[in-house]
Amino acid sequence: MKAEIHPDYHPVVFADANTGAMFLTRSTATSDRTVDWQGSTYPLIVVDVTSDSHPFWTGSSRRIDTAGQVEKFHRRYGVRPAP
């Protein structure tokens, strides 16, 4: 790697804003906020979604009732006759 062209890659703690779960990883992101993590102080980055709160990873995704939506549309706007 060339010297002085890459950003500083350092340990950072990411916190989920919804669940409060935190994890330590390495990143080039910086922050003015800090947190004590296992005896050391690291920059803290608060994010909206992590694997702890994302519906795909938690299995809490919602199913959409498409048949009900189609019926609601037909009731509201009527059914067009086929040409």
Torsion, Cα 3 5 10 13, to 10 degrees, reads: -170
DSSP secondary structure letters along 6-67: SPP-EEEEEEETTT--EEEEEES---S-EEEETTEEEEEEEES--TTT-HHHHT-PPPP-HH
How far, in Å, CA of 15 to CA of 23, rounded?
7
pLDDT in tens for each of the 83 residues of the chain? Answer: 688 888 889 999 999 888 888 999 999 998 999 999 899 999 999 988 887 776 665 666 566 666 777 788 888 888 777 76
pTM of the predicted protein model: 0.61
